[in-house]
Amino acid sequence: MYYYMELWIQYALIAAVFLSVKNMISKHLSDKYKYIDYLVYAISFSFIGVWSYVFATGYKPNKIENKDIIIILFRILIVFAVIDPAIYKAFKSCANPGKASCIINMEVILTFILSVVFLNTKIESTSIIGMIMILGGGYMVSYK
């Protein structure tokens, strides 16, 4: 019997596996280095990798709208000034990165709420039940 899995679910599962690996690496690095030290190397290697790809393949980046430059800069600010340091410090101060990840991944609920408010997606009863289960599971995993 063949079960169809939507493409977005396949990508999400792949992301979940690699996010788990990333979290274990982050825990290891956060125990050894300051966030800024990690950031210097991570951004430098990313810069080299992206531009190597662009030059090797001849890829021509599309022009983006000026208003989107502000949005991109704001996203970069949020990621590197708030989100990453908070995650890095959570892993550093928590013996089990799974517990920290459980709380961090409560963002699923916040993303759902924001999509209802700003994107006018509809609320389904199964989604509410799922969010309650996520909150309950997060509490059980993260607290004694």
Over residues 124-142, the pLDDT tens digits come to 999 899 989 988 888 888 7
What pLDDT does residue 27 have? 93
Give the pLDDT band (50/70/90) at residue 82. Answer: very high
Do 16 and 72 fall within a single domain?
yes
Do 2 and 33 fall within a single domain?
yes
Domain limits for position 127: 106-144
Residue 9: both structure tokens together? 């679910």
pTM of the complete model: 0.77
Do 91 and 110 fall within a single domain?
no
In a domain, 142, yes or no: yes
Spatial neighbors of 109 by CB under 8 A, at least 6 apart, are 131, 134, 135
Count of structural domains within the chain: 2
Distance CA 56, CA 74 (A): 29
Do 28 and 70 fall within a single domain?
yes
Do 21 and 90 fall within a single domain?
yes
What pLDDT does residue 144 have? 66
**Residue 62 CA, distance from chain mean position:** 25
pLDDT in tens, 25-80: 999 999 999 999 999 999 999 999 999 999 999 999 999 999 999 999 999 999 99
Residue (of 125, 39, 127) closest to 89 by Cα position: 39
In a domain, 75, yes or no: yes
Q: H helices of 33-122, where?
A: 35-57, 66-78, 84-93, 97-104, 107-119
